[in-house]
Amino acid sequence: MNLLIALVTTGAAVTALYMSWRRRHAPGGAARPMALAGWLLACLAAMLWVRFRGPEHGLAYAAIALTFVAWAVVVLAGRETPRPGERRRLPRVAGTIAGRAAIARTLGRVFVAFPLAGAASLLASVLIAAGLPWGTVNRYVFAIMVAPIIWGVLAMWAGMTETLARTALVLTGASAACAALLFIR
Amino acid sequence: MTSWLPRFSTVVKKSLAGHAWLGLVGGGLMYLICLSGTLAVFYQEWERWEQPEAHELQRADPASVQRAVATVLGRLPTPPPHLYVGLPTEAMPRVTVSTEEEHQAWFVGPDGALGEQVAHDWTHLLLNLHIYLHLPSTLGLTVVGSLGAMLFGLIVSGFLAHPRIITDAFRLRLGGSMHLEQVDLHNRLSVWGAPFHVIMALTGAYFGLAGTLFFLFGAAFHGGDTEAATAAIFAAEPKVQGDGRIPNVERALREIGRVVPAGAAATSPSFMTVHDAGTPKQFIEVEVVQPGRLIWAEYYRFDADGSYLGRSDYSDGPAGRQVIYSSYRIHFGNFGGVPVKILYGLLGLSLTVISVTGINIWLARRKTRDYLNDLWIGTVWGAPAALALTAVTEILLNVPSTAVFWISLLVATAWALRLKDPARARRDLCATTAALLGVFVVGYLLKFDTTRLPIVAWWMNGALAATAIIMIAIAAGSSKTIVFARPSEQIPHGDLDHTRAV
């Protein structure tokens, strides 16, 4: 019964969000209050999951339930036939890895996104851990959790930059600076 | 007025470029990790299915476990660094005794007698693909860990690159171009599954990068001692001095009932490790799952005589230790029984579909069509076929099958490259997968005594048979695609219409 209450509340939250989405172009501004109600209901649902299943399992169940209910709403209610203008193909982009120059450019980007960004992110996260005013365990775990976040963002940067050499230089410099601060005493 | 901040449209454009590039570079490997991870959620069920005739029991008798441990230690020429005892749980109702070495693992009967050897080779092939990509362990962990970081980058760049992703949160345009369908499927699965995807990325990266980070912690803060850095997070081993006799695991198991706090008493021990077995430094560690918690377990320690030494404080120690010890259950969905595993399987499947549709979108938007289209379709539909083939060779024929997986994947991509017809390649590979799964299920039922199969074996075979039917349906759909391509997808300027969805 408890699970049903939490699940129904999650369903109500997603339904409110969906109703808000449906009315996003409608006059009268009903979409915003509806969206707010949806997110408040999502918070209430999370609290119910936590109450019924404890804080750890409860939050996990709340997130999983929200995902599956939303997917269900997308499949059941969000399906629509594209407008005539949308039926044609989306704009084309150039995309080929043919030719030596393109291969070299790609390999260079891979080098910057993986070893260089990896070294910079790992060293930076260890340096951050060194400066935190917490106990050893919490500092180390913070570094472990933040390292992939920094690496992911730096790799994204490597993927979008038009000045790869400058990016490589910045990452190398950052790595060297972090290593110097950590190891040279 | 000029601003040092880039224009929003520029950010979107660059983020899209970064998102596409990251997805493309990690694409194939990410797909293999997601596909194997989806299956790996059920690794305990696969293990039971792989050796269905092993004895199953709900509870282990401490005296029987003691007999089994003594037998194994008597059999081994040298004492092992670690002796592991798997105790029956709801997901794995079997008792095993094993060491780190290959071929040193046995099932234990209710009387403590050693049974057949534990050999979950196919499940390990699957897990090793997910965790190491079958590379040497340190390299494999690092590569997979780095792909976890890339996944996080893809999530961030995905949100930045698609400003309408929230506006279109419920939109699923079907019936137009296949390209549009793929875009909507990719974005809807991504946006609502984002919390799960972030968790997968961060915990996956942790598994892969922990070794390197502990090395750096050791170098920076512990005078180069990596073990000291590890011990700072995970509870340090107790210092004991005994005489190297056979450890009294029976007493330790009986003591557990006394030392476990009342709140956790409902759970029985799930695993036991004898560290430095057979040496004066040996001690016993018993894992007890904590109800309602995500930490893997609380660890209760005993000396070789079975006297209680203390616990590791994973359940109420520093927050960081609890977080790190929760990562495994969060990553593999090992916290709510079979229902949560099924949901995790579906979430894993969604991430697999996202990785495939992402590359499909990129391929479809190119101005050209080349070998990459065929290479990709060979990888996507060749991997299930290769896994099905390894089940046949590993479980039915007892042939070590890691090489079989990669060679068959290579053959599948070569076949797709030779055909230069994605629809036909997809049809052929799906039909092959269906045939292999059919052969496997029939062979499985002939190989094993069906009267002794646990219910889980029937469920797993049923799932494989259902997958075979789905593959046949996809293969049939592929045939129609060739004949009945939608007019809306006809590409002007004489381009070949081979950029359909994989």
- Which residues in A lie closer than 8 A to residue B157 (C-beta atoms)? 156, 159-160
DSSP for chain A, written as a single string = -HHHHHHHHHHHHHHHHHHHHHTTTSTTS-HHHHHHHHHHHHHHHHHHHHHHH-HHHHHHHHHHHHHHHHHHHHHHHSEEPPPHHHHSPPPPB-----SHHHHHHHHHHHHIIIIIHHHHHHHHHHHHHHH-SS-HHHHHHHHHHHHHHHHHHHHHHHHH-S-HHHHHHHHHHHHHHHHHHHH--
Instruction: Give residue-wise pLDDT tens across range A129-153.
Output: 999 999 999 999 999 999 999 999 9
What is the enclosing helix (H) or strand (E) of B261? Answer: none
Mean pLDDT of B162-182: 81
Instruction: Give residue-wise pLDDT tens across range A81-128.
Output: 666 665 555 555 555 555 778 788 888 999 999 999 999 999 999 999
- Which residues in A lie closer than 8 A to residue B175 (C-beta atoms)? 81-82
Is A87 in contact with B177 (Cβ distance < 8 A)?
yes
Alpha-carbon distance B419 to nearest alpha carbon in chain A (angstroms): 20
The pLDDT value given to residue B222: 92
Mean pLDDT of B261-286: 83
What's the CA gap between A166 and A164, in Å, rounded? 5
Is A97 in contact with B317 (Cβ distance < 8 A)?
no
- Which residues in B lie closer than 8 A to residue A137 (C-beta atoms)? 232-233, 317-318, 320-321
Runs of H (alpha helix) within B247-401: 249-259, 319-324, 327-332, 337-365, 371-391
Is A137 in contact with B192 (Cβ distance < 8 A)?
no
The pLDDT value given to residue A6: 95
The pLDDT value given to residue B365: 83
CB nearest A183 (choices: B220, B293, B372): B220
Are the C-beta atoms of residues B252 and B306 closer than 8 Å to each other? Answer: yes
Instruction: Give residue-wise pLDDT tens across range B19-60.
Output: 888 888 888 999 999 999 999 999 999 999 999 999 999 889
CB nearest B335 (choices: A60, A134, A139): A60
**pLDDT value at B472 more than 90:** yes
HSE-CB for B209 with a 13 A CA cutoff: 37
- Which residues in B lie closer than 8 A to residue A153 (C-beta atoms)? 152-153, 156
List the single residue in B with minimal CA-CA distance to A103: B25
Burial A49-58 (b: 16+ CB within 10 A, else e): bbebbbebbb
Q: Which of the residues A24, A67, A139, A150 would you substitute to probe the B interface, choosing the one with the greatest number of B C-beta atoms within 10 Å?
A: A67
Strands B283-288 and B172-173 turn out to be unpaired
Instruction: Give residue-wise pLDDT tens across range B277-317.
Output: 888 999 999 999 988 899 999 999 999 999 999 988 888 88
What is the enclosing helix (H) or strand (E) of B275? Answer: strand B269-275
Is B192 in contact with A71 (Cβ distance < 8 A)?
yes
Q: Write down how long chain A is.
A: 185
The pLDDT value given to residue B500: 38
Alpha-carbon distance A146 to nearest alpha carbon in chain B (angstroms): 9
List the single residue in B with minimal CA-CA distance to A70: B192
Q: In the predicted model, what is the mean pLDDT of chain B?
A: 89
List the single residue in B with minimal CA-CA distance to A150: B149
**pLDDT value at B486 more than 90:** no
Are the C-beta atoms of residues A75 and B184 closer than 8 Å to each other? Answer: no
What ipTM is given for this predicted complex?
Answer: 0.90
Are the C-beta atoms of residues B453 and B498 closer than 8 Å to each other? Answer: no
What's the CA gap between B191 and B170, in Å, rounded? 10
Instruction: Give residue-wise pLDDT tens across range B74-123.
Output: 999 888 999 999 999 999 999 999 998 888 999 999 999 999 999 999 99
Q: Sign of the CA dihedral B387, B388, B393, B394?
A: positive
Alpha-carbon distance A163 to nearest alpha carbon in chain B (angstroms): 12
Mean pLDDT of B178-195: 90
Mean pLDDT of B334-338: 92
HSE-CB for A101 with a 13 A CA cutoff: 0
Cα angle: A114, vertex B329, B262; to 5 degrees: 145
The pLDDT value given to residue B5: 58
Q: Which phi and psi (to 5°) does residue B97 adopt?
A: -125, 130
Mean pLDDT of B181-189: 91
Q: In the predicted model, what is the mean pLDDT of chain A?
A: 89
Lowest-pLDDT choice from B32-41, B76-85, B266-275, B424-433: B266-275
What's the CA gap between B272 and B208, in Å, rounded? 25
Is A130 in contact with B221 (Cβ distance < 8 A)?
yes
Q: Residue B102: which of B130, B132, B69, B124 has the closest Cα?
A: B124
The pLDDT value given to residue B264: 56
Is A90 in contact with B365 (Cβ distance < 8 A)?
yes
List the single residue in A with minimal CA-CA distance to B293: A56
Which residues touch B376 (CB under 8 Å, ≥6 apart)? B27, B28, B359, B360, B363, B502
SS (H, E, C) B54-111: CCCCCCCCHHHHHHHHHHHHHHCCCCCCEEEEECCCCCCCCCEEECCCCCCEEEECCC
Mean pLDDT of B376-382: 97
Place of tokens 């996956």: B204
What is the enclosing helix (H) or strand (E) of B401? Answer: none
- Residue B445 tokens read as 């039922």
Q: Which of the residues B144, B147, B150 would you substitute to probe the A interface, choosing the one with the greatest number of A C-beta atoms within 10 Å?
A: B150
Is B323 in contact with A141 (Cβ distance < 8 A)?
yes
Are the C-beta atoms of residues B330 and B276 closer than 8 Å to each other? Answer: no
Is B335 in contact with A145 (Cβ distance < 8 A)?
no
The pLDDT value given to residue B1: 44
**pLDDT value at B3 more than 60:** no
CB nearest B220 (choices: A78, A88, A126): A126
- Which residues in B lie closer than 8 A to residue A80 (C-beta atoms)? 171-174
Can you give the pTM of this predicted structure?
0.90
Return the higher-pLDDT residue of B252 and A86: B252
Lowest-pLDDT choice from A23-37, A50-64, B46-60, B178-192: A23-37
Is B370 in contact with A96 (Cβ distance < 8 A)?
yes
The pLDDT value given to residue B367: 73
Runs of H (alpha helix) within B398-496: 402-419, 422-447, 455-483
Alpha-carbon distance A118 to nearest alpha carbon in chain B (angstroms): 8
Alpha-carbon distance A136 to nearest alpha carbon in chain B (angstroms): 7
| Sequence letter at residue B49 | W
What is the enclosing helix (H) or strand (E) of B1? Answer: none
CB nearest B318 (choices: A21, A137, A158): A137
Are the C-beta atoms of residues A7 and A65 closer than 8 Å to each other? Answer: yes
Are the C-beta atoms of residues B236 and B285 closer than 8 Å to each other? Answer: no
Is B169 in contact with A182 (Cβ distance < 8 A)?
no
Is B183 in contact with A90 (Cβ distance < 8 A)?
yes
**pLDDT value at B449 more than 80:** yes
Query: If 0-12 CB within 10 Å is exposed, 13-18 middle and 19+ buried, where does residue B131 land?
Result: buried
Confidence at A2, pLDDT banded by 50, 70, 90: confident
